[in-house]
Amino acid sequence: MEELDAKYHLLSPGMTVLDLGAAPGSWMKYCGEKVGGRGMVVGIDRSPLSRQTGKNEAFILSDVFLIEPAQIRAQYGEFDLVLSDLAPDTTGSKLADNARSIALCERACQFARAVLRPGGKLLVKAFQGGEFEGFVKFLRESFAGVETTKPKSSRPGSREMYVYARNFKKRAKT
């Protein structure tokens, strides 16, 4: 997270951040420290955190497909940044794993479109493969700028990529 934050200047004091796939909790902790006491980080994961939440953090134990983005917006308001480190349970089949990864990316985008304030940002992990380019193209409909990156911290043979979308320009009707 630190490498991506340094590259894209994702976080600043006072921001509100939604962290999808928050467990074990290292991204939440890093974000909480960066946004400070006036900021807020809300994490969602189907697995519990491995640590206690900080004063400016909230955690929801749930599968992202079982919670509605509008519920999150109603409870916490609009967000400046949505992070998604969601990863599928892999099967070993590149085709199936890519499809599962893209489904999680699309769900993260649904959250972003429902909870981001205008000008907000999205950072999402995805696996390169068949539907990856289509997903990037889809993001360009809602964000002014979209780019992909492979952090130095990713294993060299990994198909893992991050997609950074900035300057959110549309709100989903909910």
Active centre residues (catalytic): 125
Q: Are 164 and 149 in contact (CB under 8 A)?
A: yes
Q: Is the peptide bond before 24 cis (omega within 30 degrees of 0)?
A: yes
b/e sequence 35-63, b meaning 16+ C-beta within 10 Å: beeebbbbbbbeeebeeebeebbebbeee
The two tokens of residue 85 are 């480190």
